Amino acid sequence: MNLRHVAVVVTAICAATVLTSSSANSPPTVLASCPQQWGGRHAGGWVPAAGQIDGVGDYLVPGRPVTAMICAYPGDNTRKGGERLAGSRTLTGDAGAMARDLGYLPVGTEEREVMCTLMGGPMTNYLIRFAYPGGGGLWVGSAEEVNGCVRTTNGTVQSHSYVGRSLTAAYRTGTWRLVHPDDPCQMPGERRGQDGRMVPDEPISVLVCRRATRAGERDPRREHDRRTAGPLAETLNALDAGGKEILNEISCDPADWFDLLFGYAEGPPVRVSIVVGCDRGIDNGFLNAALDDALRDQIIRLAPPG
C-alpha cells in the first residue's frame, strides 16, 4: 500500500489542527489493518467492531496491550462522516502507559448530557488498535475537535472525557503522554468513580482555585496537602448528592466560584466546582449537591483571597 501524507490546516476561532509528516520524526506509515474510511457520523464515538477483551465493559482499555496503532482521519466538523485515512503510527513501548491513562477515564453505556460550543473548525477522528499478547485486539475510537465535544468508545462503553490533543501529539511523535494545560486550575479533572462519589479514591492534595473576575487573568490558587484533602473529600462524599443537573440562571445567581482539584499519587485529578449562590452549588460533572453555610465558609477559608 502506498504511503500517503496529508496536511490539514484549518483556522478556527480558537484552534487549528495541522497533520503533516514533517511534524514527526518519521512519516506515519499506513498499515493495511486501518479502515480506509471513517465509518461514524460524529466526532469520535465509532469503532469497526467491539472488542472481546475481558474488562471492556468496565474500562476503555483493559489489561496490558503491547502495541497501539493510531489511524488518523482528518476533516472538518461542519462535514462529518466519510473522512479518509491519512496515515497511521504504531506505539510500542508507550502502549501500556496509553492504556493506563485511558483506563482512568470515567465510562458508561448511556449518553451523558454535556454542554458543547458550536464553532466550526478542524476535526481529526482517530482509531487506536491495541494489540495484546496472544493475538487479541481492541479498537478505540476518539477525535480531536475544535470544541472538544467528542465521544471516546471501545464499542461497549464510552467516555466524554477529552483526550484529543494527546492523541494528535502521539500520532505526530510516536510517543504517548497526556497533554495538560499550562495552568493547573484549567485541568479537566475527570476520573473513574465520579459517578458514584463526589471525590473517589484517596486524594493526597487539593488545589483550591478561585475563578478570576476579569477575562485573561489567571485564577488565584492555594494548594493544601493530604491533611486537608482527605477530610474535605470525606465531607463532600457525605453529602446527599444526586444526578448531574446543568446549573442555569433560573436556579443560580453565582456570587463566587471555586474549583477544587483533588490530586492523587497516580492518575488524573478530580475537579469539584463550588458555586456560591446556586441551589445545587456543588458539582463534579456527574453528581451535584446543595451547598450549606458551613461548607461554604470552609471553602472560603481554604481559598486564596478574592
Higher pLDDT, 50 or 279: 50
pTM value? 0.83
Reply yes or no on whether the pLDDT at 10 is more than 50: no
3 in any annotated domain: no
With cell 464553532, the residue in question is 119
Lowest-pLDDT range of 111-125, 146-160, 243-257, 258-272: 243-257
Strand, helix or coil at 98?
helix
Structure-block grid coordinates of residue 139? 479498537
Residues 23 and 167 in one domain: yes
Reply yes or no on whether the pLDDT at 31 is more than 50: no
The confidence band for 213, taking pLDDT boundaries of 50, 70 and 90, is confident
Residue in 20, 118, 31, 28 with CA at minimum distance from that of residue 74:
20
Which residue stretches of 94-225 are H helix? 95-103, 164-173
| Mean pLDDT in residue range 149-157 | 96
Residues 155 and 195 in one domain: no
The pLDDT assigned to 16 comes to 33
CB 95 within 8 A of CB 113: no
Query: What does the CA dihedral 63, 65, 71, 74 come to, rounded to 10 degrees?
Result: 40
Q: Which of 173, 206, 233 is the last residue of a domain?
A: 173
The pLDDT assigned to 68 comes to 96
The pLDDT assigned to 250 comes to 40
Residues 21 and 169 in one domain: yes
